[in-house]
Structure 1
Amino acid sequence: MRTTFRLLLISFVLILPATVLAMQRHDADAIIGTWINASGKGHIQIYKQGNKYYGKLVWLKEPNDEKGAPKMDIKNPDAAQRNKPLLGSIILRDFVFDDDEWNGGRIYDPQNGKDYKCFLRLKDLKTLSVRGYIGVSLLGRTETWTRIN
């Protein structure tokens, strides 16, 4: 009886961490949906195209400038892109799912016109950690986005 109990206890101790780890893993398509950014001023729709993930700016709190015209991507380093509306811009691109995170992609910040390396991690199904950085991930900033749908 004591040996059986010990064997069950050891089995439980060995299986529990693997079970918890398996429960925390996410499906590659788990980030697909619409997210509100940390400032609350934009909604980003993440979608899959081929085997990569992209994010499009689908809503802005203030989509128009003071004259009532759509805000343009005026800080884009590519002059040909400066006359395009911010709404509809692809701000996340080329992410691939790898070991419970989406990496290898880039994030574009229309507020300063800069492009950064980036990776994405789900904290849970409603919370997305977005880390943009230059060079190594230590030199960057993390934002938390919240799922809308």
Structure 2
Amino acid sequence: MKRLITLAAVFMAAPLAAAAPVEGRWVTAEKDAVITIGDCGRTVCGRISRFLVPPPQGADQRDINNRDPQLRTRKLLGMPVLTGFVEEDDLWRGRIYDPKSGKTYRSVIRRINATTLEVKGCIGPFCQTQTWKRAR
């Protein structure tokens, strides 16, 4: 019994694995935009803060591929593409929006190191992973 109490004390004292912070400015895998990730109330979100490659209609590009016709007039610049991210163990779970396809996917993000962010978008059991680099 004494040994069981000792083991329980050790496990309770050990810190749980926490997700590394993902806040900051990140260059997408395609190197066409900078996404700024930060606090959005009770969750973390990421917005398009800068275009590195101008979209076809320039900086005023609208969300023309959105499946919701009412959202097609919003500007891409400043638009959230990562939404509802909450910390779960050593990663963050939320949703990612792809303005090129107009689709939203389940997403998992994880900071690999100080300069690398792993971003996954998933449909069912199938996921596609990208690597984003910290913007300078």
Q: TM-score range by the shorter chain?
A: 0.7 to 0.9
Alpha-carbon distance in 2 for matches of 1:120, 1:47: 13
Q: Shift in Å at residue 100 of structure 1?
A: 1.1
1:52 to 35, 43, 61: 43
Q: Which has the higher helix share?
A: 1
Structure 1 runs (4+) greater than 4 angstroms displaced: 24-27
- Whichever residue aligns with residue 143 of structure 1, its letter is Q
Of 99, 109, 113 in structure 2, the residue corresponding to residue 110 of structure 1 is: 99
Say which structure is richer in strand.
2
Q: Distance in 2 between matches of 1:62 and 1:120?
A: 23
Q: How does 1:35-50 map to 2 (within 5 A)?
A: 35-50=26-41
Q: Equivalent of 2:65, from 49, 65, 75?
A: 75
Write the deviation string for residues 94-138 of structure 1: whole angstroms up to 9, x where unpaired. 0101111001x10000011010000001111210000001012xx
What does 1:1-149 correspond to in 2, within 5 Å? 26-27=19-20, 30-63=21-54, 65=56, 70-103=60-93, 105-136=94-125, 139-148=126-135
Structure 1: stretches of 5+ with no match in the other structure: 1-21
Larger relative contact order (CA 8 Å, sep ≥ 6):
2
CA-CA distance at 1:64 after TM superposition: 5.2
1:58 partner SS: strand
Query: TM (normalized to structure 1)?
Result: 0.74
> Residue by residue, what CA displacement relative to the aligned partner does 1:9-62 show, whole Å, maximum 9, x if unpaired?
xxxxxxxxxxxxx8x8544xx211100000100100001123311000011124
Identity of aligned residues (%): 36
| Residue type of the alignment partner of 2:49 | V
- The 3 A distance-change label for structure 1 pair 92 and 37 is same
Question: Match for 1:41: what amino acid?
Answer: D
Q: How far does the alpha carbon of each residue in 1:66-104 deviate from its partner, in whole angstroms, 9 at most, with x for none?
A: 5x571111000111111111111100000101111001x
TM-score by length of 2: 0.81
What is the RMSD computed on CA atoms of the aligned residues? 1.9
Q: How many residues align?
A: 121
In structure 2, what is the equivalent of residue 16 of structure 1? none
CA contact (8 A) 2:33 2:50 kept: yes
Please say which structure displays the higher CA radius of gyration.
Answer: 1
